[in-house]
Amino acid sequence: MTDIQGEVAPGFEQVRDAFAANFAERGEVGAAFALYQDGVKVVDLWGGVADQESGRAWEEDTLQMVFSTTKGATAICTHLLAQRGLLDYEAPVAQYWPEFKANGKEEITLRQVLSHRAGLPAVDPRFTPEELFAWDPIVEALAAQTPYWEPGTKHGYHAMTYGYLLGEVIRRVSGKTVGQFLADEVTGPVGAEFYIGLPDALEPRVSTLIAMQLGMTSEQRDMFKDIDINSLPEEFRAIAAAFLDPNSLSVRALNLSEPELDFNSRGMHAAEIPAANGICTARGAARMYAATIGEVDGVRILDDATIAAASTTQSQGPDAILIFDSHFGLGFMLSSATVPMLGPTSFGHDGAGGSLAFADPASGVAFAYVMNKMNAQISSDPRSLALTQAVKASL
């Protein structure tokens, strides 16, 4: 039986029960969960193993890579600059990044980038991991890229390019990389551990990911090469067609490099990939989100008007990259059947494998779940869903 550590305020005991059940019933290996309400921490739990090979225990300060949950932190940085009057959602990206206007991108707005409507979910060249870590090669390629669809006409998940597009705008406007801006202007003032570009001294605290396959290997695709897609149930045909083709836009959007990235490597942790390589504690992510909807120890990051704009639906329905339905505000995922949060005012982001962090202004709650065992789920991970349901029942 896994030893669950931490604290739970009176009234939230069933959240601890759900967290423990993830280990007992849902295959959890190492994880942490935190919840703030009205700026006060009410749940802070951790347990399990941070590294299976060595048996290293998950500690109170264990850090975890959270994949696309990173996008929420990048969105917060973008909205803080807009709140300060330094960015305009309606302005062309090229206003801040002149090189970006090449090849029909003169009128792509910041709103379209935040809403996954820019038509730039991938880039034509493949990159080495080192080139992605270096920043300039991918940013220069995006500036030269022709959109894959007419910007604004549909939405499709910019799985990796989202972070580079917004990160370069943040750099042009603030003079800081997105990781530096996050540390200086967001997480530093509020005292939250969430890093994009992990300092070397913190590497020993990082949990080891137990990875899932983010796409099919060539061997796996060979097993399915003769399949008649029309023989599949209708609801799976489009997804199968997209993800069985190694050259499809869906597959290319999810993986920009050759060879694929090693998410447990020091190089990956040290780089700034603002759509995918955030590393945090659950407490840090929840505290950061809590400061977007209210004060945390006297500090608030975003105001009510900014949150209202950021959490208004921009894109909803069939996603040109993911194929299934998605629901986005400005940079944030919004609650949906695919990624259920607490209710219609919730905004945040999930990450590949199961992590999830969000805020819900209606209840004053900020929620964060991180884990090292990645699950392959099209819809909400059963572990985060159980925690969400337990929080909802506790309010």
Catalytic residues: 68
Beta bridge partners of 36: 41, 366
Beta-carbon contacts of residue 244 (< 8 Å; ≥ 6 apart): 216, 221, 224, 225, 227, 229
Question: Strand, coil or helix: what is 255?
Answer: coil
Question: Alpha-carbon distance 356 to 358, whole Å?
Answer: 7
Question: Alpha-carbon distance 81 to 181, whole Å?
Answer: 10
Torsion over CA of 361, 345, 384 and 289, rounded to 10 degrees? -40
Torsion over CA of 98, 100, 103 and 104, rounded to 10 degrees? -90
Question: Alpha-carbon distance 208 to 221, whole Å?
Answer: 27
**Cβ atoms 6, 338 nearer than 8 A:** no
Angle at 103 between CA 101 and CA 108, to 5 degrees: 45
The sign of the torsion formed by the CA atoms of 329, 71, 251, 147 equals positive
User: Exposure string (b/e) for 349-368, b if CB count within 10 Å is 16 or more?
Assistant: bbbbbbbbbbbbbebbbbbb
